[in-house]
Homo-oligomer: A and B are copies of this chain.
Amino acid sequence: MIFDEPPENQAETLIHDRIDSSLHFRTKIPVGILGATGSVGQRLIQLLDKHPWFELVYLAASDKTNGKTYKEAVNWQLPTPLPEKAGKLLLKPCEPGVDCKIIFSALPAAVAGDVEVAFAKAGYVVISMAKSHRMDPDVPIMIPEVNADHLELVSKQPYGKSKGMIIAKPNCAAIGLALALRPLILEFGVKAVHVVTMQALSGAGFPGVPSMQLLDNIIPYIEDEENRLENEPHKILGEYKNGAIIPYACTISSSCTRVPVTEGHLEVVSVQLAEKPSAEEVIRAWEEFYPPVQELKLPSSPVKPLYYFSQKDLPQPKLQRDLDNGMAVSIGRLRKCQILDYKFVTLSHNTIRGAAGGALLIAEYLVKKGHVFW
């Protein structure tokens, strides 16, 4: 338990009470978004529309948008219409003092660090999509299906008095990898991982990569991405023990490329395992992966976190990225690797599972577990 009160089931009762009585004023949890006009901010607004638990009440972006309505400020780039209510919200400064409890931060890394701390100090639950605090020893990088217990780390944060906290979601390419590796770690142990990514352009934010550079082309380099992909998984997949994360010990080598695909990071992975399972056993490990968080039936949870496709040319970004509303990870092509043990392909939606949806799932988990009071 992170905090002394309230007891978990009391919190759940509260939530359920409020949710059941959804016609009353302020039954939903008020939430806000920092960096609301960017591509991840837009995706969050899309996903929060009609969310059963959360109500969007606060939006902030760069200073020059202050005072505008969101509709005026944003260059909306999603295929569903800008939700009307969000469009009418006025953009405010990126400062605490707003009447909401959970803050989703999609700020650029350059400014995210300090702003997120300010909000945590002021008692907000900050779900950060920036890399700024990910490697801080007291900040968990959470994937609820993988490391829900890392949440305990929050008790080490200096914001306890105010009940504020910072929780990071992983790098968008690390999420699909970590989810695919998790069952292999649980069942067989993983000693080495070689990964080559083909990352969608939405991962570069907006405006991101000029179309002149990406149409009919591949860019075999993404600033700082290989560094993150080789470091974050150790922490994500590590073990929480005595108030700290013991990083998962395995070797990771990555190569990251940007490809002309709108959404969906495809990763070609080779792994060396501690035990030597058959291919059938590996596939079974994925198919039977059923982490405890699934039992909570969170609104943003996928039906299943992992799907294995036996059809030889799957997964493909266009065909599987939207699986379970973009929250499932698709795996395919498992076969022997001549150098390590097995190779396979994994795919995840980078702005949903890899960013906005992943952050939302963390928030839902926190609420369900009683760590958000309002």
Interface residues, chain A, with chain B CB atoms under 8 Å away:
39, 76-81, 192, 194, 196, 198, 201-202, 204, 206-221, 230, 251-253, 255, 257, 259-262, 266, 268, 270, 312-323, 332-333, 337-340, 343, 345
Nearest CB on B from A156, distance (A): 29
- A328 → B minimal CB distance (Å): 10
Closest to A251 in B: B338
Would you give 11 A-B contacts (Cβ < 8 Å), ordered by A? A39-B212, A79-B320, A79-B321, A196-B196, A207-B212, A211-B213, A211-B214, A213-B318, A214-B215, A216-B318, A217-B319
Contact of A209 among B194, B211, B339 (CB under 8 A): B211
With a cutoff of 8 Å between Cβ atoms, the chain B residues found around residue A198 in the complex are 198, 218, 257, 259
- Given known A208-B210, A213-B77, A255-B345, contact A218–B317 (CB-CB < 8 A): yes
In the complex, chain B residues whose CB is within 8 Å of the CB of A343: 253, 255
List of B residues within 8 angstroms of A337 by Cβ: 194, 253
Contacts of A192 in B (CB 8 A): 339
Q: Which of B207, B210, B319 sits near A78, CB closer than 8 Å?
A: B319
Whether the Cβ atoms of A211 and B201 lie closer than 8 Å is yes
When distances are taken between beta carbons in the complex, the residues of chain B under 8 Å from A216 are: 215-216, 260-262, 317-318
Cβ of A81: which chain B residues have Cβ within 8 Å of it? 323
Residues on B with beta carbons closer than 8 Å to the beta carbon of A211: 201, 208-211, 213-215, 260
Given contacts A198-B218, A313-B220, A313-B221, are A257 and B253 in contact (CB under 8 A)?
no
Q: Are B218 and A261 in contact (CB under 8 A)?
A: yes
Let me know if B318 and A260 touch, CB within 8 A: no
Cβ of A333 to closest chain B Cβ, rounded Å? 6
B77, B217, B322: which contacts A80 (Cβ < 8 A)?
A: B322
Contacts of A322 in B (CB 8 A): 79-80
Contact B259 A218 (CB under 8 A): yes
A313: chain B residues at CB < 8 Å are 219-221
Interface pair B217/A317, CB less than 8 Å apart:
yes
Additional A-B contacts beyond A251-B338, A257-B266, A339-B340 (19; CB < 8 A): A78-B319, A79-B321, A81-B323, A198-B259, A201-B211, A206-B210, A206-B212, A209-B210, A210-B211, A213-B318, A215-B215, A215-B262, A220-B313, A220-B315, A221-B313, A255-B268, A255-B343, A259-B260, A260-B260
